[in-house]
Amino acid sequence: MTHMRERLIVGLDLQSVAEAEKAVGELGEMVAFYKIGYQLAFAGGLGFAQELVQAGKKVFLDLKLLDIDNTVARGVESVARLGVTMLTVHAYPKAMRAAVAAAEGSGLCLLGVTVLTSMDAEDLAEAGYAHDPETLVRRRAEQARDAGMGGLVCSAAEAAIVRGIVGPDMAVVTPGIRPAGAAAGDQKRVVTPGDAIRAGASHLVVARPIIGATDRQAAAQAILEEMVAADG
Protein backbone atom coordinates (compact mmCIF):
# COMPACT_ATOMS: atom_id res chain seq x y z
CA MET A 1 0.00 0.00 0.00
CA THR A 2 2.84 2.40 0.83
CA HIS A 3 4.36 1.90 -2.62
CA MET A 4 1.00 2.48 -4.31
CA ARG A 5 0.59 5.82 -2.53
CA GLU A 6 3.43 7.05 -4.72
CA ARG A 7 1.46 5.96 -7.81
CA LEU A 8 -1.97 7.41 -7.00
CA ILE A 9 -2.25 11.08 -7.93
CA VAL A 10 -5.36 12.82 -6.59
CA GLY A 11 -6.57 15.67 -8.77
CA LEU A 12 -7.40 18.77 -6.74
CA ASP A 13 -10.00 19.96 -9.24
CA LEU A 14 -11.49 22.51 -6.87
CA GLN A 15 -12.44 26.16 -7.00
CA SER A 16 -10.25 27.54 -4.22
CA VAL A 17 -7.15 26.92 -2.15
CA ALA A 18 -9.38 26.71 0.94
CA GLU A 19 -11.30 23.80 -0.61
CA ALA A 20 -8.03 22.13 -1.62
CA GLU A 21 -6.60 22.52 1.88
CA LYS A 22 -9.73 20.88 3.29
CA ALA A 23 -9.45 17.95 0.87
CA VAL A 24 -5.76 17.42 1.64
CA GLY A 25 -6.50 17.56 5.35
CA GLU A 26 -9.26 14.96 5.02
CA LEU A 27 -7.06 12.63 2.97
CA GLY A 28 -4.17 12.90 5.41
CA GLU A 29 -1.42 10.32 5.05
CA MET A 30 -3.59 8.22 2.72
CA VAL A 31 -2.45 10.35 -0.25
CA ALA A 32 1.11 11.45 -1.03
CA PHE A 33 0.74 12.89 -4.54
CA TYR A 34 -1.57 15.64 -5.83
CA LYS A 35 -2.36 17.14 -9.23
CA ILE A 36 -3.02 20.85 -9.68
CA GLY A 37 -4.54 21.86 -13.00
CA TYR A 38 -5.90 25.06 -14.51
CA GLN A 39 -8.89 25.34 -12.19
CA LEU A 40 -6.87 25.58 -8.99
CA ALA A 41 -3.66 26.99 -10.52
CA PHE A 42 -5.53 30.14 -11.58
CA ALA A 43 -7.04 30.49 -8.10
CA GLY A 44 -3.81 30.62 -6.11
CA GLY A 45 -2.82 27.02 -6.67
CA LEU A 46 0.81 27.66 -7.62
CA GLY A 47 1.54 29.03 -4.16
CA PHE A 48 -0.37 26.11 -2.67
CA ALA A 49 1.78 23.74 -4.73
CA GLN A 50 4.84 25.08 -2.94
CA GLU A 51 3.12 24.57 0.41
CA LEU A 52 2.39 20.96 -0.48
CA VAL A 53 6.02 20.40 -1.48
CA GLN A 54 7.19 21.91 1.80
CA ALA A 55 4.80 19.56 3.62
CA GLY A 56 6.47 16.56 1.99
CA LYS A 57 3.86 15.88 -0.69
CA LYS A 58 4.58 15.35 -4.37
CA VAL A 59 2.90 17.68 -6.86
CA PHE A 60 2.00 17.21 -10.52
CA LEU A 61 1.36 20.54 -12.26
CA ASP A 62 -0.97 19.80 -15.16
CA LEU A 63 -0.50 23.02 -17.15
CA LYS A 64 -0.13 21.47 -20.63
CA LEU A 65 2.41 23.99 -21.91
CA LEU A 66 2.47 24.81 -25.62
CA ASP A 67 4.00 27.95 -27.08
CA ILE A 68 7.06 29.10 -28.98
CA ASP A 69 10.24 27.32 -27.89
CA ASN A 70 11.65 30.18 -25.81
CA THR A 71 8.41 30.69 -23.90
CA VAL A 72 8.08 26.97 -23.15
CA ALA A 73 11.69 26.83 -21.96
CA ARG A 74 11.35 29.83 -19.66
CA GLY A 75 8.10 28.44 -18.27
CA VAL A 76 9.71 25.09 -17.52
CA GLU A 77 12.61 26.80 -15.76
CA SER A 78 10.15 28.68 -13.53
CA VAL A 79 8.19 25.54 -12.72
CA ALA A 80 11.37 23.62 -11.90
CA ARG A 81 12.16 26.22 -9.22
CA LEU A 82 8.86 25.41 -7.47
CA GLY A 83 10.16 21.96 -6.55
CA VAL A 84 7.23 20.05 -8.03
CA THR A 85 7.64 16.49 -9.34
CA MET A 86 5.80 16.49 -12.68
CA LEU A 87 4.76 18.98 -15.37
CA THR A 88 2.77 18.45 -18.57
CA VAL A 89 3.70 19.74 -22.01
CA HIS A 90 1.61 19.10 -25.12
CA ALA A 91 3.42 16.41 -27.08
CA TYR A 92 4.52 18.57 -30.02
CA PRO A 93 8.13 17.71 -30.89
CA LYS A 94 9.56 21.25 -30.81
CA ALA A 95 7.86 22.09 -27.53
CA MET A 96 9.08 18.85 -25.96
CA ARG A 97 12.67 19.38 -27.08
CA ALA A 98 12.66 22.92 -25.68
CA ALA A 99 11.18 21.71 -22.39
CA VAL A 100 13.70 18.89 -22.01
CA ALA A 101 16.64 21.25 -22.57
CA ALA A 102 15.25 23.70 -20.01
CA ALA A 103 14.61 21.03 -17.36
CA GLU A 104 18.03 19.42 -17.62
CA GLY A 105 19.54 18.79 -14.20
CA SER A 106 16.42 19.86 -12.29
CA GLY A 107 14.86 16.48 -11.52
CA LEU A 108 11.53 17.67 -12.95
CA CYS A 109 9.70 14.86 -14.77
CA LEU A 110 8.23 16.21 -18.01
CA LEU A 111 5.13 14.48 -19.34
CA GLY A 112 3.98 14.70 -22.95
CA VAL A 113 0.20 14.94 -23.30
CA THR A 114 -0.88 12.63 -26.11
CA VAL A 115 -4.66 12.79 -26.67
CA LEU A 116 -7.04 14.12 -24.04
CA THR A 117 -9.24 11.45 -22.48
CA SER A 118 -12.30 13.59 -23.26
CA MET A 119 -11.66 13.22 -27.01
CA ASP A 120 -12.58 10.39 -29.37
CA ALA A 121 -12.06 9.88 -33.12
CA GLU A 122 -14.92 12.19 -34.02
CA ASP A 123 -13.50 14.98 -31.85
CA LEU A 124 -10.05 14.62 -33.43
CA ALA A 125 -11.53 14.75 -36.92
CA GLU A 126 -13.44 17.91 -36.02
CA ALA A 127 -10.18 19.46 -34.78
CA GLY A 128 -8.48 18.70 -38.10
CA TYR A 129 -6.45 15.62 -37.20
CA ALA A 130 -6.22 12.85 -39.78
CA HIS A 131 -5.48 10.16 -37.20
CA ASP A 132 -7.69 8.21 -34.82
CA PRO A 133 -6.75 8.41 -31.10
CA GLU A 134 -4.65 5.23 -31.04
CA THR A 135 -2.59 6.20 -34.09
CA LEU A 136 -1.96 9.70 -32.76
CA VAL A 137 -1.02 8.36 -29.32
CA ARG A 138 1.48 5.98 -30.91
CA ARG A 139 3.10 8.77 -32.90
CA ARG A 140 3.34 11.12 -29.95
CA ALA A 141 4.72 8.40 -27.69
CA GLU A 142 7.53 7.78 -30.17
CA GLN A 143 8.24 11.51 -30.44
CA ALA A 144 8.26 11.97 -26.65
CA ARG A 145 10.63 9.05 -26.23
CA ASP A 146 12.96 10.45 -28.87
CA ALA A 147 12.84 13.94 -27.33
CA GLY A 148 14.00 12.61 -23.95
CA MET A 149 10.78 13.27 -22.04
CA GLY A 150 10.24 11.69 -18.64
CA GLY A 151 6.92 10.17 -19.55
CA LEU A 152 3.53 10.53 -21.18
CA VAL A 153 -0.07 11.20 -20.28
CA CYS A 154 -2.53 8.96 -22.07
CA SER A 155 -5.78 7.14 -21.55
CA ALA A 156 -5.30 3.86 -19.74
CA ALA A 157 -6.97 2.34 -22.80
CA GLU A 158 -3.71 3.09 -24.63
CA ALA A 159 -1.33 2.48 -21.71
CA ALA A 160 -0.20 -0.95 -22.91
CA ILE A 161 0.54 0.44 -26.37
CA VAL A 162 2.52 3.35 -24.92
CA ARG A 163 4.43 1.10 -22.52
CA GLY A 164 5.45 -1.08 -25.45
CA ILE A 165 6.82 1.97 -27.28
CA VAL A 166 8.63 3.75 -24.44
CA GLY A 167 9.92 0.75 -22.48
CA PRO A 168 9.92 0.19 -18.72
CA ASP A 169 11.57 3.37 -17.47
CA MET A 170 9.38 6.25 -18.65
CA ALA A 171 6.32 7.27 -16.65
CA VAL A 172 2.93 6.42 -18.13
CA VAL A 173 0.36 8.59 -16.36
CA THR A 174 -3.29 7.79 -16.91
CA PRO A 175 -6.18 10.17 -16.15
CA GLY A 176 -9.82 9.29 -16.80
CA ILE A 177 -9.75 6.59 -14.12
CA ARG A 178 -13.16 5.50 -12.88
CA PRO A 179 -13.91 2.70 -10.40
CA ALA A 180 -16.41 0.13 -11.65
CA GLY A 181 -19.91 1.62 -11.61
CA ALA A 182 -18.75 5.25 -11.34
CA ALA A 183 -20.12 7.88 -13.73
CA ALA A 184 -17.80 8.69 -16.66
CA GLY A 185 -18.74 12.38 -16.65
CA ASP A 186 -17.11 14.20 -19.57
CA GLN A 187 -14.52 11.47 -20.09
CA LYS A 188 -14.88 9.20 -23.13
CA ARG A 189 -12.00 6.72 -22.78
CA VAL A 190 -12.20 5.59 -19.15
CA VAL A 191 -10.66 2.55 -17.44
CA THR A 192 -10.85 1.09 -13.91
CA PRO A 193 -7.86 1.46 -11.53
CA GLY A 194 -7.05 -2.24 -11.68
CA ASP A 195 -7.13 -2.41 -15.46
CA ALA A 196 -4.89 0.67 -15.69
CA ILE A 197 -2.24 -0.92 -13.47
CA ARG A 198 -2.40 -4.18 -15.42
CA ALA A 199 -2.00 -2.22 -18.68
CA GLY A 200 1.32 -0.78 -17.54
CA ALA A 201 0.40 2.60 -16.06
CA SER A 202 2.98 3.91 -13.61
CA HIS A 203 0.66 6.55 -12.10
CA LEU A 204 -3.12 6.94 -11.96
CA VAL A 205 -4.78 10.35 -11.80
CA VAL A 206 -8.10 10.25 -9.96
CA ALA A 207 -10.11 13.38 -9.22
CA ARG A 208 -13.91 13.25 -9.03
CA PRO A 209 -14.27 9.68 -7.67
CA ILE A 210 -12.23 10.79 -4.62
CA ILE A 211 -12.77 14.55 -4.36
CA GLY A 212 -16.51 14.16 -4.96
CA ALA A 213 -16.93 11.32 -2.44
CA THR A 214 -18.70 11.77 0.89
CA ASP A 215 -15.82 9.98 2.60
CA ARG A 216 -12.75 10.97 0.60
CA GLN A 217 -10.30 8.88 2.60
CA ALA A 218 -12.40 5.73 2.20
CA ALA A 219 -12.70 6.36 -1.55
CA ALA A 220 -8.93 6.76 -1.86
CA GLN A 221 -8.30 3.63 0.19
CA ALA A 222 -10.64 1.55 -1.98
CA ILE A 223 -8.80 2.66 -5.13
CA LEU A 224 -5.41 1.97 -3.54
CA GLU A 225 -6.57 -1.52 -2.56
CA GLU A 226 -7.70 -2.20 -6.13
CA MET A 227 -4.33 -1.00 -7.41
CA VAL A 228 -2.47 -3.26 -4.97
CA ALA A 229 -4.57 -6.28 -5.96
CA ALA A 230 -3.95 -5.64 -9.66
CA ASP A 231 -0.20 -5.24 -9.13
CA GLY A 232 0.03 -8.62 -7.44
Q: Which residues are annotated as a binding site for substrate?
A: 13, 35, 62-71, 117, 178, 187, 207-208
Is 146 annotated in the active site? Answer: no
Catalytic hit among 22, 57, 58, 64: 64
Number of domains in the chain: 1
Domain that holds residue 161: 2-231
Rounded distance between C-alpha atoms, residue 2 and residue 31, angstroms: 10
Q: Which residues are annotated as a binding site?
A: 13, 35, 62-71, 117, 178, 187, 207-208
What CATH number should be reported for the domain holding residue 61? 3.20.20.70
Is 186 annotated in the active site? Answer: no
Is 188 annotated in the active site? Answer: no
How do the pLDDT tens digits run along the chain, 232 residues long? 678 899 999 999 999 999 999 999 999 999 999 999 999 999 999 999 999 999 999 999 999 999 999 999 999 999 999 999 999 999 999 999 999 999 999 999 999 999 887 888 899 899 888 888 889 999 999 999 999 999 999 988 899 999 999 999 999 999 989 886 554 454 444 689 999 999 999 999 999 999 999 999 999 999 999 999 998 7
Catalytic hit among 22, 58, 67, 120: 67
Q: Give bridge partners of residue 174 from the DSSP assignment.
A: 204
Which of the 8 DSSP states describes residue 45? I
Rounded distance between C-alpha atoms, residue 175 and residue 191, angstroms: 9
Number of H helices, E strands in the chain: 12, 8
**For the whole model, what pTM was predicted?**
0.92
